[in-house]
Structure 1
């Protein structure tokens, strides 16, 4: 037993440090200091360490009072803030076990003192956090005491109220500690809100999968509600393998305790069919789950299926249940139908804003998607639209239609296919928007792979890849393509295809001007492969161009590529101007640049000084200009000859002048 002074100090520390808002904390602290009965009744002092909301409930429960006075126990006590968030009754005995467990002693499951002794599930994640069901134990606020009966007792403060499975008041039979099968069979009598499981229950019975749900142990069960079976044919697709794909065996996953985007092996994981399941949270806080059919078959195609969790963290005797808004693994909608589904999802739809923008632009984009037999959509998330630069563009229907079409590819393009295209170079893929391409890059392998896409000057990261539909894929991205958000300098710095030009501009201080938002730049940027070709064609010159000692010449060369005017010149502009003149004269920093632009096989070609240079990426928009990525620098042979001679001449002249000055000074001193 603690000494009285030690116990008082510990109690005061807990009261002062606890993040929950104790009512009249100062009064309680004073009582703890002044209470001469502490040494006679540690149970009494134990109660006084608790947040007042839980203490008042404990005081009203005779079984809990008896346990605290006479038995060993562990009490999981929610903070006052947890009570403020909680809706509905609090079951005190579900927060108590009849054995004392320190944090280190907590096993994967412990029995509660509630009728039927339903288990509490313990998760210890890789960050060192410990969860009881979905509630995190606040690590610094656990207290251990011994009551007057000599029984060891432990209190852990948690950040959520623990919610057991409960029946509706109208339930005819008593419901205690159901397993997942009993949960499904008696779902109509349980407190599940408006969620019904009749369709899925019928398919489970038809497929004789009862044993899967009554298996002993601790598992995670994902159950689609009736709302997810609006399509009349969908229920017939729920076969035995699909049901297996809704169960994660031997692992209990509560949403707060889960490692997000960490694939778990489902019960549908065998030689001919491999399905994983993972949890993730949208930025709006909504929890989702996704199945990924890595290896499919004739009935179960490859791809990802997303489902929102509509009721999470329902504990049962053999694990935890999550109710989801549609079945996993089933791919039975077109891309158009998938997008249309978000009009009914209100604020909860992951792509609600994307669908709204499509319809605000007139709906022609959606009709175009519907006419494609194979299609891939790069769909910006709801948050991607929350940037000020989009506000004015959305009102321009034609511009918005062009931007939306930049997100559409006439092909079935999943990450595996992107990786194949990306094997030797950054993958270049045409879009529905005429002469506009997207540029994909894949870094990493497996679940660590990061897919990025560039379009119209915007780099986006794929947040959720391979959402499969019957006629293609949807990839959710974090930015709207074609709506610039960075300057010419920012784009040059961040784009891996332009790194050599950026480096040359940095050491020559050419880049210093490119952040100026008061100017409008048209910058012809040689891509890295173009500079690599000059290394083959003119190795000596290439070497000098990337040496700081010759930065003046590097700067002069880059200035030839930079057009400065009161407006930008798109490739379409330059092509039209070239129809009426032999050479388009563009103002540069030093003088002017004379070019022609022609179209060949749907691509642009730049004609300069009798050379034909392919335009690899036209019209990369920036907030202060536009970039055209070209296959080769605007470099003349005489630049190299003159520059090469001048480099050597300048060095020799400098040495001769230095020697002459030294001789003259020496003679003068003598």
Structure 2
């Protein structure tokens, strides 16, 4: 009997030892990895977590030490553990954590192949799978961010176990969501419109909730009707900011026959996250257009999805362009643009405010981080001219640009006298890319159609009017000058245009101008775009290029033309004789008795200036194509080779 008891005790001891050894197996991996030491330290102190490692299957999500350096506040170890083992392929969209109340974890697998748990990315090469002594399968995934559950504030004693989105709004004053992030105004509108069920709905949804700060305008809360509330919910999809596909529109709950609203996320280069609603089809109460809102508190997990707190309500268009610039000028997406406007004296803002209809091309904060801008930003007059180049006296959204752009690149006047912007659209629908050129700078519209009561704001990625590329760079990238660039490539004429030690004034025929020559001189036009006739192409382009120690603006040339019949300008071969006059606010160039409209004057480049003209400086006799009086160089070479072969053959015979 004593022997049996001794054997039983030994077996029990051995079992305990084996269990502890197995528990140590995963713990050892954590302890031995210096990059995971902070989480291991917290895990060691948690008896429930240690028991799970010893006795049960589990999946454990382990943040790196680097993730802890960015993390503020306490860490909830059990929120990083589930009581079932899942490798990367087995992870489910929703998983139950081991924290009190078992709040869910949400898994996102994006199109790039990345896998996220809530807002943390799994580092795939560091995942480990093993079996403990109890035969239980266990998986460890290393993640790049500490997981943060919804918790009560230190002063509150509220029970916050696994709240849904509606309960979250009701108890927000007692939760860790930031001291200034009150939700009372929006919550009261949700109750007034009897939309509680939308926030209580089971499943996995994304909820966008505006904070009280967004209702500073006293009339704004009254505009939050049932449809606006629907526009703040993305049903059946959980979107955490790091895992989101930026600028990918998602259907909101306000998407029906008579009203269609999408919502998308995007991130500024400074790291700030924004969300935007786009009312594609509106009605009398809900106008079309985009509304931007900064996310002030992101990625709050709740029982039925995720909540993001935003600084103002979506869908509501109740501010002027001026108010929008002021609202986004303090610390928002257009902070630098607003600063420059005010530094230039504020007259620009006053001018905008006096316009009944206005469109602003607003450079992003990052667009101002260009060294060439530093040299002119203190020149108040020059800066005012540049700022006015970004202002259009019209309501101009992408649909209207597309209409203007139907048959040619749209040309739109700006507040800056005699300055035009040139819009181009490539692609259709959500894939469309809108570009705008002004003063030699080609910018891409990053955020289009931000609607205001008196117009639109389009956020662009460059400051217009501050050149950043050479004459060659401009020629190569501008869709209106592609034929001239192609012709110059044949003869290597364009190679010189990258020289920053020279100053060029280049009269560039736009593509439509070359197309006109095809009708006027079909044979000559054909030869100009053949490599065998590169010599003639080069000769004609040299006539268009003025090389001097300074550039000639159209204003300069018009002024010079007042005192002489012809202005003589130095070119590569000899000289160019022209006269420039101003007619009805446009410039007209006269060459060889031909009047040619200047379509785009003064396109500035870092080493010169381009004037885009409606027709080339060309006559039919410039390209000899008849009577066999001219043969291209390649044909001459072939003829000489044939003659040599005939002579050699005769000699050998």
Structure-2-length-normalised TM-score: 0.91
C-alpha separation in 2, matches of 1:193 and 1:37: 30
Q: Does the Cα contact within 8 Å between 1:21 and 1:81 map onto a contact in 2?
A: no
Q: CA deviation at 1:207?
A: 1.0
C-alpha separation in 1, matches of 2:340 and 2:259: 38
Q: CA deviation at 1:152?
A: 2.1
Deviations along 1:453-477, whole A, 9 cap, x unmatched?
1111111111111111111111111
Q: Does the Cα contact within 8 Å between 1:571 and 1:604 map onto a contact in 2?
A: yes
Deviations along 1:319-358, whole A, 9 cap, x unmatched?
1000011111111111111111xxx767741111111111
Query: Are residues 72 and 210 of structure 1, via their aligned partners in 2, closer, same or farther at CA, if it must alter by over 3 Å?
Result: same
SS at match of 2:442: strand
Q: Does the Cα contact within 8 Å between 1:292 and 1:303 map onto a contact in 2?
A: yes
Query: Are residues 510 and 118 of structure 1, via their aligned partners in 2, closer, same or farther at CA, if it must alter by over 3 Å?
Result: same
Query: Are residues 646 and 435 of structure 1, via their aligned partners in 2, closer, same or farther at CA, if it must alter by over 3 Å?
Result: farther
Aligned counterpart in structure 2 of residue 333 of structure 1, from 299, 305, 319: 319
Report the counterpart of residue 103 of structure 1 in structure 2.
Answer: 88
Greater Cα shift, 67-76 or 118-127: 67-76
Q: Does the Cα contact within 8 Å between 1:305 and 1:328 map onto a contact in 2?
A: yes
Query: Are residues 30 and 422 of structure 1, via their aligned partners in 2, closer, same or farther at CA, if it must alter by over 3 Å?
Result: closer
Q: Does the Cα contact within 8 Å between 2:277 and 2:291 map onto a contact in 1?
A: yes
C-alpha separation in 2, matches of 1:303 and 1:66: 55
Deviations along 1:34-88, whole A, 9 cap, x unmatched?
9999999xxxxxxxxxxxxx22212211222222222222211111211222111
Greater Cα shift, 59-68 or 388-397: 59-68
SS at match of 1:412: coil
Query: Are residues 516 and 188 of structure 1, via their aligned partners in 2, closer, same or farther at CA, if it must alter by over 3 Å?
Result: same
C-alpha separation in 2, matches of 1:355 and 1:36: 47
Report the counterpart of residue 27 of structure 2 in structure 1.
Answer: 29
C-alpha separation in 1, matches of 2:16 and 2:553: 61
Q: CA deviation at 1:128?
A: 1.7
Q: Does the Cα contact within 8 Å between 1:605 and 1:613 map onto a contact in 2?
A: yes
Q: Does the Cα contact within 8 Å between 1:272 and 1:296 map onto a contact in 2?
A: yes
Deviations along 1:288-323, whole A, 9 cap, x unmatched?
100000001111111111111111100001110000
Q: CA deviation at 1:548?
A: 2.2
Q: CA deviation at 1:589?
A: 1.3
Greater Cα shift, 406-415 or 633-642: 633-642
C-alpha separation in 2, matches of 1:558 and 1:321: 61
Greater Cα shift, 220-229 or 131-140: 131-140
Q: CA deviation at 1:149?
A: 2.3
Query: Are residues 33 and 631 of structure 1, via their aligned partners in 2, closer, same or farther at CA, if it must alter by over 3 Å?
Result: closer
Query: Are residues 474 and 146 of structure 1, via their aligned partners in 2, closer, same or farther at CA, if it must alter by over 3 Å?
Result: same
Q: Does the Cα contact within 8 Å between 1:560 and 1:593 map onto a contact in 2?
A: yes
Deviations along 1:247-289, whole A, 9 cap, x unmatched?
0011111111111111110011111110000111101111110
Report the counterpart of residue 411 of structure 1 in structure 2.
Answer: 394
C-alpha separation in 2, matches of 1:415 and 1:288: 21
C-alpha separation in 2, matches of 1:253 and 1:663: 78
Deviations along 1:380-426, whole A, 9 cap, x unmatched?
11111111111111111111111111111111111111111111111
Deviations along 1:198-248, whole A, 9 cap, x unmatched?
111111111111111101111100000111111111111111111110000
C-alpha separation in 2, matches of 1:16 and 1:484: 78
Q: CA deviation at 1:172?
A: 3.5
Q: CA deviation at 1:376?
A: 0.7
C-alpha separation in 2, matches of 1:544 and 1:470: 54
C-alpha separation in 2, matches of 1:574 and 1:453: 26
Q: CA deviation at 1:662?
A: 8.2
Query: Are residues 611 and 455 of structure 1, via their aligned partners in 2, closer, same or farther at CA, if it must alter by over 3 Å?
Result: same
Unaligned runs of 5+ in 2: none
Query: Are residues 187 and 502 of structure 1, via their aligned partners in 2, closer, same or farther at CA, if it must alter by over 3 Å?
Result: same
Deviations along 1:458-503, whole A, 9 cap, x unmatched?
1111111111111111111111111111111111111111111111
Q: Does the Cα contact within 8 Å between 1:291 and 1:328 map onto a contact in 2?
A: yes
C-alpha separation in 2, matches of 1:402 and 1:2: 102
Q: Does the Cα contact within 8 Å between 1:4 and 1:39 map onto a contact in 2?
A: no
Q: CA deviation at 1:191?
A: 1.1
C-alpha separation in 1, matches of 2:252 and 2:462: 32
C-alpha separation in 2, matches of 1:178 and 1:657: 90
Deviations along 1:624-666, whole A, 9 cap, x unmatched?
1111111111112432458876415999999998898889889
How many residues are aligned here? 652
C-alpha separation in 2, matches of 1:610 and 1:332: 56
Query: Are residues 593 and 531 of structure 1, via their aligned partners in 2, closer, same or farther at CA, if it must alter by over 3 Å?
Result: same
Query: Are residues 539 and 465 of structure 1, via their aligned partners in 2, closer, same or farther at CA, if it must alter by over 3 Å?
Result: same
Query: Are residues 501 and 23 of structure 1, via their aligned partners in 2, closer, same or farther at CA, if it must alter by over 3 Å?
Result: farther
Deviations along 1:427-450, whole A, 9 cap, x unmatched?
111111111111111111111111
SS at match of 1:314: strand
Query: Are residues 69 and 664 of structure 1, via their aligned partners in 2, closer, same or farther at CA, if it must alter by over 3 Å?
Result: closer
SS at match of 2:627: helix
C-alpha separation in 2, matches of 1:622 and 1:19: 77
Deviations along 1:143-179, whole A, 9 cap, x unmatched?
2222222222222211111111000122243221110
Greater Cα shift, 632-641 or 304-313: 632-641
Aligned counterpart in structure 2 of residue 158 of structure 1, from 123, 134, 143: 143
C-alpha separation in 1, matches of 2:11 and 2:397: 56
SS at match of 1:258: coil
Query: Are residues 522 and 36 of structure 1, via their aligned partners in 2, closer, same or farther at CA, if it must alter by over 3 Å?
Result: closer
Query: Are residues 642 and 135 of structure 1, via their aligned partners in 2, closer, same or farther at CA, if it must alter by over 3 Å?
Result: closer
Q: Does the Cα contact within 8 Å between 1:8 and 1:32 map onto a contact in 2?
A: no
C-alpha separation in 1, matches of 2:224 and 2:37: 63
C-alpha separation in 2, matches of 1:95 and 1:220: 22
Query: Are residues 646 and 25 of structure 1, via their aligned partners in 2, closer, same or farther at CA, if it must alter by over 3 Å?
Result: farther
